[in-house]
A = this chain, B = another copy of it.
Amino acid sequence: MSETVFSGRVFKVVREEVDLPSGRRARLDLVKHPGAAAVVPIDDQGRVILLRQYRHAAGGWIWEIPAGTLDPGEDMEQCARRELAEETGYSAESFEKIAELLPAPGYTTERIHVFVARDLSPAKQSLDPGEVLEVHRVDLAEARAMVADGRIQDSKTVCGVLLASARGQE
């Protein structure tokens, strides 16, 4: 049993009856999401490009790496390249996938593919009407400090900064 109870622009909500491995049946409300790509863009000086973005759901301005929802027919690297250019005004020669993340596996099907991008060059920034953000460049060591002291709270950004650092992406 699967019933669509809400259908919006970014996600829909379905109520499903599922058979659990325990043998029980459960009724779950799930956010069905097309998936997303996120990018840790690192420039030639070892600085990461971070967005200071207004997020109504988070109650204000937060720090994030560039990211966005998969468009129909797109693959994840195309999505990462598109979002990098649209949000930051940079394109990148090199894209390397470093993680797949489940942001909230209790209730959303969203899966975020995280890339490190290098060899940056200027491209055309093109924000959606609803996007409100500033583009900043921050040393990777400073980004780690922002994670450690709680200035960065967005999960994909915490993961992206720490995973890129652990791989020696400096």
* Interface residues, chain A, with chain B CB atoms under 8 Å away: 5-6, 8-11, 13, 15-16, 18, 20-22, 24, 26, 28-31, 54-59, 62, 64, 69, 99-112, 129-130, 132, 147-148, 150, 153-156, 158-159, 162-163, 166
B99 touches A104 (CB 8 A): no
Q: Which residues of B contact A104 (CB under 8 A)?
A: 103-104, 108, 110, 155
Complex Cα–Cα for A59 and B35 (A): 14
Q: Which residues of B contact A21 (CB under 8 A)?
A: 54, 132
The 4 A-B residue pairs with the shortest CB-CB distance, nearest first, are A8-B29, A155-B155, A58-B105, A6-B6
Closest Cβ of chain B to A152, distance in Å, is 10
Complex Cα–Cα for A56 and B105 (A): 8
